[in-house]
Amino acid sequence: MKILLVLIVIVAFGFVGYVYKQKLKNELDFFKFINEFEEYYNSNMTLFKCDIIEIIDKFIIMQNNKNAKYINLFLKNNNLYAINKDFISKQITNKESVETIYKYLTLCGKSEYDFEKEKNENFKAYINNSIIGSEKLYREKGGLVFKLLLAIGSVIGILIW
């Protein structure tokens, strides 16, 4: 009975560490997805205002071929796209990043060509910094928290024994 209790404690602590590590990994993947969208939007934007709906449709088709899991970000309502803010807030823990990404996505295609290019360059710098920060956090804290919680679970298991 003690062995089962010790194993349950170790597995529970390891699972909590694994969930935290996966949360950081999902955040990093989401930032990379947003970066891909920004690059795709920037390359398909033309001087003659290509329709944003066509760009998003083509991007979704391209992502479906990659089996992407972040397509739920775009909600289609009667041939118009809305941005799912709740989906963004589930993927990212920083509220300021959620607001910045949401604002960028909702304002895509609503300005003139020159301003859109400038806005995309600024957003690209922001998202690249976010990717670097998230990658650093994942490398430093993700594995550390997982291993630390697994060690704490082992120590508690030894104390129970």
- Of 53-57, 91-95, 109-113, where does the model show the most confidence? 91-95
Helix axes 95-107, 113-137, angle to 10 degrees: 150
SS3 of residue 49 by DSSP? coil
Span 8-56, pLDDT tens digits: 999 999 999 999 999 999 999 999 999 998 988 888 876 555 577 788 8
Q: Answer yes or no: are the C-beta atoms of 26 and 142 closer than 8 Å.
A: no
State how beta strands 80-83 and 74-77 pair. Answer: antiparallel
> Phi and psi of 137, rounded to 5°?
-60, -40
Beta carbons within 10 angstroms of residue 78's beta carbon:
4
pTM of the model: 0.85
Span 57-92, pLDDT tens digits: 888 878 777 767 887 788 877 777 888 888 888 888
